[in-house]
Amino acid sequence: MLEFQVLLFYKFVPIIDPELFRKQQLTLCHQLGIIGGRIIISAEGINGTLEGKKQSIQKYIKIMKKDERFCDVAFKVSHSDGSAFPYIIDPITKKTRPKLSIKVRSELVTTDIEGHQKIGPITGKTGKYITAKELHNWIHNSNKEFYIVDMRNDYEYEVGHFKNSVLLKNFKNFRDLPKLLPQLETLKNKTLVTVCTGGIRCEKASGILLDNGFNHVYQLKDGIIKYMERYPNEDFLGKLYVFDQRITIGFNLGDDKHQVVGKCRLCQNNTENLVDYYLRDEQNKILPGRSYGLVCPTCIQQKKVALDTEVINESTLNPA
């Protein structure tokens, strides 16, 4: 049986010609047989998630490390079954294949902040790095006062998070962060540790905090995934949301220490079932406004919500 891997990586580094680099990356992925994935390229670097056979992924890493711009990248690898990305019909061969998207964008992480180029590791306006080992020591072997602030969306937090971590209310999209900062006002002079999936959002988030008067800001180096890999089921509870078809991943899930922390948004029973859904009114009519979050199979079976497959056109729904 073929072994597949999913590769997660990023690097903030000046890219002189993003479009040329995009073409080079596309050619490289095709040559190596990378079967699917998503890469964002901008003038400030690269952010990628790729899937392929183990040998293909390892060759990609080896080639990238030969480029001095990426020789120090922390490439994070996890196992997959070869179906982490959706299948599309190839316009040339007319055969189905996993989708491989490589695009040029103005930002690696969308902030929509005017002057966003001034925030991030290239300019030095970013939080201090704290490794998984150091954070583990802070949690278990020190009396240091600090607060872990989750920089992910609400549905990501719901399915898994650090114990006692802070989640900003109504955090639906990363670009919402600046307007949500008043929620952290009482922590401005406290020590904060920002966390996210692989680390890239914290490169910007910690810089935004610093730019708004927060004085002691750290970021978890290499992200939650690295902490989970090193300390499975210890301080990060539940599963980690990932932006591919696997939806969530975990380590040592059969261990007795693994906890299901997610709760159904309707009945509050434990679940890890993430879905797109529409609410229903008292007459059981479907209301407009799609949401994404945890809904248990029982509530779905009892028709407390409607799934995408039940909704053809949102404009035909019953108005709220």
Question: Which domain CATH number covers 180?
Answer: 3.40.250.10
Say whether both 181 and 211 belong to one domain: yes
Domain membership of residue 267 (yes or no) is no
Say whether both 128 and 164 belong to one domain: yes
Cα gap 308→313, rounded to integer Å: 10
Burial class (CB in 10 A: 0-12, 13-18, 19+), 1: exposed
pLDDT, position 219: 98
Say whether both 292 and 224 belong to one domain: no
Query: Which domain range does residue 222 map to?
Result: 116-249
pLDDT, position 109: 95
| Percent of the chain predicted with pLDDT > 70 | 93
Say yes or no to pLDDT of 158 above 80: yes
Say whether both 183 and 69 belong to one domain: no
Domain membership of residue 260 (yes or no) is no
Say whether both 14 and 126 belong to one domain: no
Domain membership of residue 225 (yes or no) is yes
Count of beta carbons in the 10 Å neighbourhood of residue 37: 24
Say whether both 124 and 36 belong to one domain: no
Say whether both 217 and 242 belong to one domain: yes
Say whether both 172 and 283 belong to one domain: no
Mean pLDDT on 189-203: 97
CA dihedral 149, 155, 157, 160 (to 10 degrees): -170
> Which of these three, 75, 104, 133, is where a domain ends?
104
List active site positions.
Answer: 196
Domain membership of residue 263 (yes or no) is no
Say whether both 237 and 291 belong to one domain: no
Domain membership of residue 257 (yes or no) is no
Domain membership of residue 148 (yes or no) is yes
**181 vs 245, more confident:** 181
Say whether both 125 and 89 belong to one domain: no
Question: Given pLDDT bands bounded at 50, 70 and 90, which one contains residue 86?
Answer: confident
Cα gap 187→284, rounded to integer Å: 44
E strand spans, 108-154: 128-130, 147-150
Taking CA atoms, 283 is separated from 58, 87, 111, 260, 303, in Å, by 55, 38, 40, 33, 12
Say whether both 120 and 95 belong to one domain: no
Rg, C-alpha atoms of the chain = 21
Query: How many domains are there within the chain?
Result: 3
Domain membership of residue 31 (yes or no) is yes
> Which of these three, 54, 82, 104, is where a domain ends?
104
Question: Given pLDDT bands bounded at 50, 70 and 90, which one contains residue 313?
Answer: low
Say whether both 125 and 221 belong to one domain: yes
Cα gap 201→109, rounded to integer Å: 6
This prediction has a pTM of 0.90
Question: Given pLDDT bands bounded at 50, 70 and 90, which one contains residue 284?
Answer: confident
Q: Please report, for the domain that includes residue 17, its CATH number.
A: 3.30.70.100
Domain membership of residue 269 (yes or no) is no
Residue 280 CB contacts under 8 Å (≥ 6 apart), including other chains: 286, 287, 303, 304, 305, 306
